[in-house]
Amino acid sequence: MREIPFSPEMMATLGLVAGLDGRELEGNSNTGLVDLMKEALADAFAKEILSEQQARVIYLMYIQEGLTQEMVANYMGITQQAVSLYHRNALKKLEKHIKTYCNF
């Protein structure tokens, strides 16, 4: 499985999505958890859990560019509301996949 450079923002967001609020997702005490979540995310992308549009939104917001929803909307030529919907639905799918993959 190829390594995907997940941003700290992505890991924090997905930590909250996976119900890990209040836990630091970086550092020595939870390196195994961080690695497991990164595996789950890479697995989700490899298995194409997200639609093409959802994956693009997640990629632009968290992995490659760190763009805002408004910037993603302009880049993709869609409305900010559409970006918000793709983002929300992508996080729901990722939440389900992470919880299953990581046995949370």
Does the residue 50 lie in any domain?
A: yes
Listed as ranges, residues in the chain with pLDDT below 70 are 1-8, 10-31, 65
Residue 91: give its domain's CATH number.
Answer: 1.10.10.10
Whole-prediction pTM value? 0.71
Domain that holds residue 95: 8-102
How many structural domains is the chain composed of?
1
The pLDDT assigned to 32 comes to: 72
The pLDDT assigned to 24 comes to: 52
**Counts of helices then strands in the chain (DSSP H, E):** 5, 0
φ, ψ for residue 53 (rounded to 5)? -65, -40
The pLDDT assigned to 35 comes to: 76
